[in-house]
Each structure stands twice: as structure tokens, then as C-alpha cells.
Amino acid sequence: MAMLIPLLLMIVLFYFLLIRPQQKRQKEVNAMQSGLSKGDKIITIGGLHGTVVAIEDGNVVLDCAGSELTFDRNAVRTVLAKADAVEEEVVEAEVEEVATTEVETKEDVK
């Protein structure tokens, strides 16, 4: 009985330090890969940077400097920018540009 307690403790320790965090990371990766959409900027596991052009069954078509390349969806390592976030940044940049132009115009009038 005294020999079983350290063994059980070691199994529980392995579960909480190794198995559970790995399962959590795998769920996050699966969610990221299933949440890909057209226009997302990504990095593949090989280090290739590109923009998602199309998503087919298990494949992702990337635009990389004018070339369209097809990769397995599992080859996506990181999403740099979501398509929605890129559109918001463009709109924010346009609003800031208009605001600075208006300020410059008002200063010129004075």
C-alpha cells in the first residue's frame, strides 16, 4: 500500500504537468485552424508568410508574393492578422488621415 501512494502521486503529477496542458494547446490550435477565413495573414510551419485566398476541405490556398500555393490546413502555425482586423486597421488609418487633413486645413485658414 505504501508503494502505491508515490506511484499514484506521480501519475497525477504527470497528468497536471504534461497531459492537460498539451490537450489545452491542441484545442487552441484546432480552434485557430478551423477559424481560418479568407483574407487572414498567416505563417505556415515552414515559415512561409501569406494571405489566405481560399479554403477548401482540408486545404488552404495562400497568396505569397503573387504566387498561389496550396497547403494542408494543419500546416498553419500562426494567424498574424484576421481579415476583419485588417479591414478595421484600414478604416482607422483613413479616419486618422481625414482628421489630420482637416486640422491642417483649419491651421492654413488662420
Decide if 59 is inside a domain. Answer: yes
**Residue closest to 77 by CA, chosen among 108, 48, 37:** 48
User: What average pLDDT score do residues 8-14 get?
Assistant: 93
**Per-residue pLDDT reduced to its tens digit, 17-26:** 999 999 999 9
**Per-residue pLDDT reduced to its tens digit, 23-68:** 999 999 999 988 898 999 999 999 999 999 999 888 999 999 889 9
Decide if 91 is inside a domain. Answer: no
110 burial type by CB count under 10 A (0-12 exposed, 13-18 middle, 19+ buried): exposed
Decide if 69 is inside a domain. Answer: yes
Assign residue 25 the CATH number of its domain: 2.30.30.30
Decide if 47 is inside a domain. Answer: yes
Q: Which of 1-10, 49-58, 98-107 is the least confident region? A: 98-107
User: What average pLDDT score do residues 73-78 get?
Assistant: 92
Decide if 102 is inside a domain. Answer: no
Decide if 73 is inside a domain. Answer: yes
CA dihedral 93, 98, 100, 101 (to 10 degrees): 140
In terms of residue numbers, what domain contains 52? Answer: 3-81
